[in-house]
């Protein structure tokens, strides 16, 4: 079974079972619909796993493998009567064990931007959240879900 989304079928994301897995929570910084994708291959954004569509203020969390680079995208799409609005932002970062991260998608003047923050661990929360150093990629449409989705 596959999920039909912006570019066709994609396999489901399998969360790691390790006890020190980090958590990434996706959210929108507005009342709009968005979708996130996690890539199995961080370097070129290959092996795309689409997550469920987030409507409005709904959050979506996934466990992620710590200590190795992770690439993900968040997409905003809105159909107006004759015009479709669409933008994507893609980041790569290396999560730390047990840390909790928030990726908040905002849209300004038709451009997407992900604000990625570290809120610490359950035992040592960070207040205020700390901005996470990440690499931003130019997103490109791949021919298949295997990618690559990162442009230069």
pLDDT along the chain (152 residues), means of 10: 41 88 93 90 92 85 97 84 75 97 92 95 92 88 80 63
Burial of 25 (0-12, 13-18, 19+ CB in 10 A): middle
Residues 6+ apart with CB under 8 A from 87: 75, 76, 107, 110, 111, 112
pLDDT, tens digit, for every residue of 73-83? 999 987 655 55
pLDDT at 17: 92
Taking the C-alpha atoms of residue 103 and residue 150, their distance in angstroms, rounded to an integer, is 18
Structure tokens at 97: 């064990």
Residue 58 — φ and ψ, nearest 5°? -70, 135
**Helices (H) and strands (E) in the chain — how many of each?**
0, 11
**pTM, 2 dp:** 0.85
**For 121-139, what is each residue's pLDDT tens digit?**
999 998 899 999 998 888 7
Secondary structure of residue 56 in the 3-state scheme: coil
How far apart (Å, rounded) are the C-alpha atoms in residues 123 and 75?
Answer: 32
**Which pLDDT value is given to residue 1?**
36
Q: What integer pLDDT is reported at residue 134 of this predicted model?
A: 95
In this prediction, residue 79 carries a pLDDT of 63
């Amino acid at each position: 079974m596959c999920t039909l989304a912006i570019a066709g079928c994609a396999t489901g994301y399998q969360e790691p079972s390790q006890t020190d897995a980090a958590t990434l929570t996706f959210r929108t910084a507005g009342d709009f619909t968005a979708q996130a994708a996690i890539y199995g291959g961080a370097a070129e954004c290959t092996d795309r796993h689409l997550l469920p569509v987030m409507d409005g203020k709904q959050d979506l969390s996934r466990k992620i493998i710590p200590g190795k680079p992770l690439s993900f995208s968040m997409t905003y799409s809105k159909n107006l009567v004759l015009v479709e609005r669409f933008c994507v932002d893609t980041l790569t970062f290396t999560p730390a064990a047990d840390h909790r991260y928030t990726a908040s998608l905002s849209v300004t003047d038709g451009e997407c931007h992900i604000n990625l923050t570290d809120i610490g661990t359950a035992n040592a929360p960070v207040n205020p959240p700390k901005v996470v150093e990440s690499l931003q990629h130019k997103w490109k449409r791949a021919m298949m879900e295997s990618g690559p989705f990162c442009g230069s």
